[in-house]
Amino acid sequence: MRTPLVVGNWKMHGTLAEARPLATAIRDGTKRVKGVDVAVCPPFTALAAVGEIVRESSVRLGAQDCHAEPSGAHTGEVSLPMLLELGCAFVIVGHSERRREIGESDAVINGKVHAVLAQGLTPILCVGETGEERRQGLTFTTVEGQLRAGLAGVTPDAITRIVLAYEPVWAIGTGVNATPGQASEVHGYLRGLVSELASKEAAQVIRILYGGSVKPENTGELMAAPDIDGALVGGASLNAQGFLQIVRKAAHAGARGD
């Protein structure tokens, strides 16, 4: 049984004035919710403040990106030792916005996956096809290429410590989520690849999140789909009440053993 995981990706939202009350409401609202893991990924500038707020609660802290090197002449970058010091447990790696806007390659992403694992943190490795790739029938080819490249050289043991996120690019921030059927066929495919790359056991253990226009209204049906073990939530994670509804629905679906 995989415990569902719900991660809020705040993206470039959250001044300290906004981040503090949001984190406080999420911390307080998850106190009585059992059977689900919850993490928030604020921007770098709010990590310390949010880390203070969620410390000694069940809400984990995550970063939205990192540099693969522990230190050095990399202006504007943030290293894993810096993130560790702030109490981060997760790091999102290879988000499609970074692939597209910053031009992050699969090789760079693979370097980050190795670095995150080496520091004992959990990478949330994102894969997903564009709308054009889906129209051309390239969905599986695309996610397979991203997964194989992202996990290149990662040992089978270490693969069990990774979280995967299937995030179809056409569903991110559009209000149009993948249907449970569309998502679960890709999740099943990814799990099959993990079985090949690592082991059957790893494929059973690894959590594969869905991301792309997750909101309270579609969480129940998405989480009920086979192989969907949680959600990476962007826009809807900025509203504490909405995010908490998503968390509760994910816990409920997990408790049913779906």
Active site positions, annotated = 95, 167
State both tokens at 39. Answer: 């993490």
Q: Are 222 and 180 spatial neighbours (Cβ–Cβ below 8 Å)?
A: yes
Would you say 72 or 175 has its CB closer to ligand PGA? 175
Distance CA 123, CA 236 (A): 22
| Contacting positions for ligand PGA (CB under 6 A) | 9, 167, 172-173, 211-214, 232-236
Q: Output the residue with the shortest Cβ distance to ligand PGA.
A: 234
Distance CA 161, CA 206 (A): 7
Would you say 163 or 233 has its CB closer to ligand PGA? 233
Q: Phi and psi (nearest 5°) for 41? A: -120, 85
Distance CA 31, CA 195 (A): 35
DSSP 57: S
Amino acid at the residue 224: A
Would you say 23 or 124 has its CB closer to ligand PGA? 124
Q: How far is the CB of 102 from ligand PGA (least distance, A)?
A: 14
Taking the CA atoms of residue 111, residue 116, residue 156 and residue 34 in that order, the dihedral angle to the nearest 10 degrees is -140
Q: How far is the CB of 93 from ligand PGA (least distance, A)?
A: 12
Distance CA 178, CA 239 (A): 21
Would you say 150 or 212 has its CB closer to ligand PGA? 212
DSSP 31: T
